Chain A
Amino acid sequence: MKTKKLALKTVYHILVIAFGFVMIYPVLWMISGSFKDNSEILRGSLSLIPSEWKFSNYPTGWKGFSKISFARFFFNSFFITALSTFGTVISSSLVAYSLSRVKFRGRRLWFTCMLATMMLPGQVIMIPSFLIWYRLGLANSYVPLIFPYFCGQAFFIYQMMQFMSGIPKELDEAATIDGCSKYTIYSHIILPLLKPAIVTTVIIQFYWKWDDYMGPLLYLSKPASYTVSLAIKMFADAASTTDYGAMFAMSTLSLLPVFLIFLFFNKYLVEGIGTSGLKG
């Protein structure tokens, strides 16, 4: 009986690991590609170990194009991503608090609007938003890429509301009796308890924004202002007989921040998603 259990357990682990390996194979392949010679990549070699380690892909790629190095693109991406993630966390938690904890007139209406925004296809508003920013003379700047995130993101507002519904209302009531205003309840009780949901928001918003391609494609035009994703696409298009090795090297680097954030906050990821409110 015990051996059977052990055998089952082993099979379980082997299967999970094997399938997981297949899942991340393309990513591993890309990473190993960053150490391969261009010709080896083009031959479609399956191997994850380069036949000859070519570390020079990294310095080659890092040089970027036309005197703008990837240092610049990384800085741009960090700047945009950090600010908009910060904005999302602050604004979404404020809004989520008001919609889930404060009984004010119009709350239902705004909640419905929030749900509607969540389901609104971006394409519908893409063109007019673009034109509005142009009229404001801000289309060639980071403002359209950052500012809207300070106005709350429906998806995260919703997630945080779900999470808040799991925080006992009694805490608020006790605090009110102690003389706390709604403002202090938010800053002293809800916000600290919201930590797991905030972490989830940070992870997801960070990589959404970091990977974002359409936004920068529409709004950025000077190469010096490009984000990493835009730069990599440019790199792939313009490079003569595309240097896949260097491209993969930069791609690998571009995924690094996302990985780091994820590894750092990983264990909170599931905790931060509240689903209780989804029921009923």
Chain B
Amino acid sequence: MIKKLLATFLTASLILGVCGCANSSGQEQSGGNTSSTDTVVEADPSEPVTLRMAWWGSQTRHDITVAAIELYEEQNPNVTIEYEFYDFDSYFTKLKTLVASDQVWDIFQLGGNFPEYIDKIYYMNEFIDNGTIDVSDIPESYLKITQDTAGNQIGLSNGLNTYGIAYDVDMFKEAGVPLPTDNWTWDDYKNAALKISEATGHYGSSGLASSEFIAGCSTFIGQQGKVGEYSFFNLDLTGMGFDDAQMLTPYIQMRADLINAGASPDAGAEMEITNIENDFLVTGEAALTWVAVNQFPTIYDICKEEGRNLALATIPRVSANGPAGSVIQSSQMLCVSQDSAYKAEAAKFIAWFQTSVECNQILNGERGIPVADSVRAALEENLTEGQQIMYDYVTLVGTFETPEKVNVLSPDGQDEVVDNYRNYIQQVVSGDITAAEAAEKTYADAEELFK
């Protein structure tokens, strides 16, 4: 399986590298590191160390992460970890305030938007080189997915991940709709959603709003033309990756049509979804939803308990034999903070978190497929059904033809673009503007980021 994925990763890593430098244009590239090599304190093993750590996620993630932290504290009695956890939006709101005051948590979680915080990240190379941490268990290719081109280790990946569509098999059958195939199209998707909502009275397609932009809208662009011809933002995050705003129109129109037909939740209903675990798919009120596949095993188990049967399908394509647009990426990573007084201790924890079999038996791949060989091997021995589906799915996506270079990162300020984009869709729904206008506006907002 690993081999199959490897090709994807090498390319993905190149891109991560590209972004690492692109973002620091304007500031000195060294922002990440030079200033503080001398400030690293090598802690005496008996000296009490307090590390602050934070992440975002659902209740399941909070519980297992806390359990893992407690295990670490038990094994390292001198270390106390003060943890904080948030939902996605609050996490980044909080992080921004901490960035301002140079008080970023010692250990913090970042995803594709890390370029915005590059100044706050302390590269981990030093710890790898001087043997503070041992990452020999993580294959080179997986280390690379969280490195920049200069080879700086930005963090260690929490796991491999990609987007997919989780769906309720029985609801599809009940409505007499054919199950999704590996290369189903947006038209198939739309028809399925419409038919299911008509036949069952439930939503055809639900969707946690925060993942829809990346999993849907931005993928939609990558699926057009030849493989790798377009992307939403260009590869070095200095501008747009496509020229014609109208390329967005069919997608926006489809979203609005589904909402208008009652086949997708409107703004009021969407508001009730606060995280994947209360998505309408999970509550039994929708037939499908977007997921980052690391979330799949959790919701699979929840639904299984209620006697429902979930499966994973690929993100629909623009045309059945066109590009898939999906890529495997690092779900998130843990980074050491530039503000930390105990950088080495923070790095040690991160390495333990990613490579300890014991720890990962608690974490159980909730953040994605683990990157360390021994951990993956240990977990693969007793996968739950949901995890098996996720592993198979990631393998499948790994076989898709992917562009030579992809970019899974988001530029500084994307939050506002996404918020506006969601509002434009609502305006299309209420008939205030047309889908074409919404596309133009979204494009203009995104372009504005680079001015």
- Which residues of A are interface residues toward B (Cβ below 8 A)? 65-67, 130-131, 134-135, 139-140, 218, 221-224, 236-242
Q: Is A65 a contact of B62 with CB atoms below 8 Å?
A: yes
> Beyond A238-B62, A238-B87, A242-B274, is A222–B101 a contact (Cβ under 8 Å)?
no
Q: Are B101 and A238 in contact (CB under 8 A)?
A: no
**21 A-B pairs with C-beta separation under 8 A:** A65-B62, A67-B66, A134-B100, A139-B101, A221-B84, A221-B94, A223-B85, A224-B82, A236-B274, A237-B275, A238-B59, A238-B62, A238-B275, A240-B58, A240-B60, A240-B275, A240-B277, A241-B277, A241-B278, A241-B282, A242-B274
Name the residue on B nearest A236 (C-beta): B274
B236 CB, min distance to chain A CBs, angstroms: 33
Smallest beta-carbon distance B272→chain A, Å: 9
Asked if A223 meets B84 with Cβ closer than 8 Å, knowing A65-B62, A131-B100, A139-B101, the reply is yes
- In the assembled complex, the CB of A236 is this many whole angstroms from the nearest CB of chain B, namely 8
Q: Contacts A131-B100, A238-B58, A240-B277; is A66 near B85 (CB within 8 Å)?
A: yes
**Residue pair B278, A66 in contact (C-beta under 8 Å):** no
Q: Do A134 and B101 form a contact, CB below 8 Å, given A66-B66, A223-B84?
A: yes
Contact flags (1/0) for B81-103 with A, using CB distance below 8 Å? 01111010010001001101101
Task: Write out the residue numbers on chain A whose beta carbons fall within 8 Å of the beta carbon of B274.
Answer: 236-237, 242
Given A238-B59, A238-B275, A241-B278; 4 other pairs, CB 8 A cutoff: A66-B83, A134-B100, A135-B101, A237-B275
Contacts of A222 in B (CB 8 A): 52, 82, 84
A72 to chain B minimum Cβ distance, whole angstroms, is 14
When distances are taken between beta carbons in the complex, the residues of chain B under 8 Å from A130 are: 97
B385 within 8 A of partner (CB): no
Chain B residues lying within 8 Å of A139, measured Cβ to Cβ, are: 97, 101, 103
Asked if A237 meets B87 with Cβ closer than 8 Å, knowing A140-B103, A242-B274, the reply is yes
Q: Is B283 on the interface with A (CB-CB < 8 A)?
A: yes
Given contacts A134-B101, A139-B101, contact A242 B278 (CB under 8 A): yes
CA of A256 to CA of B58 in the docked complex: distance in angstroms? 29
CB under 8 Å from chain A, chain B span 305-322: none
Min distance, Cβ B49 to any Cβ of chain A, angstroms:
17
Interface residues of B (CB under 8 A from A): 52, 58-60, 62-63, 66, 82-85, 87, 90, 94, 97-98, 100-101, 103, 274-275, 277-278, 282-283, 302
Main secondary structure of the interface of B (DSSP, over half): helix
Among all A-B residue pairs, the 3 with the closest Cβ atoms? A240-B277, A134-B101, A240-B59
| Residue of A66, A139, A224, A239 with most chain B CB atoms under a 10 A cut-off | A66
Taken together as a complex, chains A and B put the C-alpha atoms of A8 and B250 apart, in Å, by 67
Q: How far is the CA of A66 from the CA of B274 in the complex (A)?
A: 19
Whether the Cβ atoms of B283 and A241 lie closer than 8 Å is yes
Measured CA separation A134–B97 after assembly (Å): 9
Contacts A65-B62, A66-B63, A67-B66 given; indicate if A238 touches B85 (C-beta within 8 A).
yes
Distance A224 CA – B52 CA, assembled complex (angstroms): 12
**Whole-angstrom distance from the CB of B279 to the nearest CB of chain A?**
9
Q: Which residues of B contact A135 (CB under 8 A)?
A: 101
| B93 to A, closest residue via Cβ | A217
Whole-angstrom distance between the Cβ of B144 and the nearest chain A Cβ: 33
Residue of A nearest to B56 (CB): A238
Chain B residues whose C-beta falls within 8 Å of the C-beta of A241 in the assembled complex: 277-278, 282-283, 302
Q: Complex Cα distance A65/B59, Å?
A: 9
Task: Return A195 CB to nearest CB of chain B, in Å.
Answer: 42
CB distance from A227 to the nearest CB of B (A): 15
A35 to B37, CA, bound (A): 57
Residues of B with C-beta under 8 A to A224: 82
Query: For the complex, what is the distance from the CA of A242 to the CA of B277, rounded to whole Å?
Result: 9
A239 CB → nearest B CB, Å? 5
A1 to chain B, nearest CB (A): 56
Closest CB-CB distance, B164 to chain A, in whole Å? 21
CB-CB nearest in chain A for B57: A238
Cα distance A274–B422 when bound, in Å? 50
CB nearest to A239 among chain B residues: B59
Q: A140 to B101, alpha carbons, bound, how many Å? A: 10
B102 and chain A: residue at smallest CB distance: A134
